[in-house]
Amino acid sequence: MSVEEVVLFKNEKGIVTLTLNRPEALNALNRDVLNQLSTILDRIKNDTSVKAVILTGAGEKAFSAGADISYLHQATPMEVRDFAQLAVSVTSQIESLGKVVVAAINGYALGGGLEIAESCTLRIAVQHAKMGHPEVRIGAVAGFGGTTRLPRLIGKGRATELLLTGAAIDADEAHRIGLVNRVVSRERLLTETEELLQEILSQSPLAVKLTWDAIHRGSNLTVEESALLGADYFGLVASTEDFREGTKAFLDKTSPRFTGR
């Protein structure tokens, strides 16, 4: 399979769908996948025609089963570290893309595959999905950002148990602990993902972007610093036309028409 085919790209009315496309390997992550994903993310980051991104996996079995174990088994320690650093760079690109990215988890999301999903803005999973960090079971560490993001998503206690046992959980349990936002049928996965995105995209684009940025950046700050960042962004959006439109529509009891200005 050529590099050009390991990540599929589709743009429909400003919503880009990126599909990890190694179904014969349960969409396992190798350098080709990560490099291709990075290139596409770079391309769409400043593309104003792209409003949001859906990230999913090819086939019905897996979003991504994680890092390609056959590569890890024969790689040197330095190569493994470089591979992990590449993956960390890609997850950072996803998290700081400036657009809403929803992981449509269509099956197994394990190890590095789950770490890709954890870097997305939101996560929707099919009912048969299984998620987990089995790295310790092969003598490894969740080195693509899982030890950082999972505790922030579901709390230190639950994250520690999952990371130290390597146990997998089903979609309902993932929803219960806050790892995924919704659980849907296989047939409704992309439809409900698109509906959620349309609901978000109907809001002020600037308010959505700054809200996510405040959440993302604020998680690295103290409570006071994070709250002050939110206050700064509140003042910043007050200078926009969308803010005046939104507040006027509220007072007039009408629906706002946001323009992104």
The residues that are catalytic are 115, 135
Q: Which of 107, 68, 48, 14 is nearest to 260 (CA)?
A: 48
If one counts every other C-beta atom within 10 angstroms of the C-beta of residue 85, the result is 12
Phi/psi zone of residue 193: left (φ > 0), alpha (ψ -120 to 50 degrees), beta?
alpha
Residue 131: which H helix or E strand, with range? strand 130-132
What tokens were used for 173? 């349990």
Structure tokens at 16: 């880009």
CB atoms within 10 A of CB 62: 25
- Cα(222)–Cα(213) distance, integer angstroms: 15
Task: Return all residues near 194 (Cβ < 8 A) that are at least 6 apart.
Answer: 15, 54
Query: Alpha-carbon Rg of the chain, whole angstroms?
Result: 19
Asked if 89 contacts 35 with a C-beta cutoff of 8 angstroms, the reply is no
Contact 109, 126 (CB under 8 A): no
Q: To which residue do tokens 């290139």 refer?
A: 39
User: What sign does the CA torsion over 204, 207, 213, 218 have?
Assistant: negative
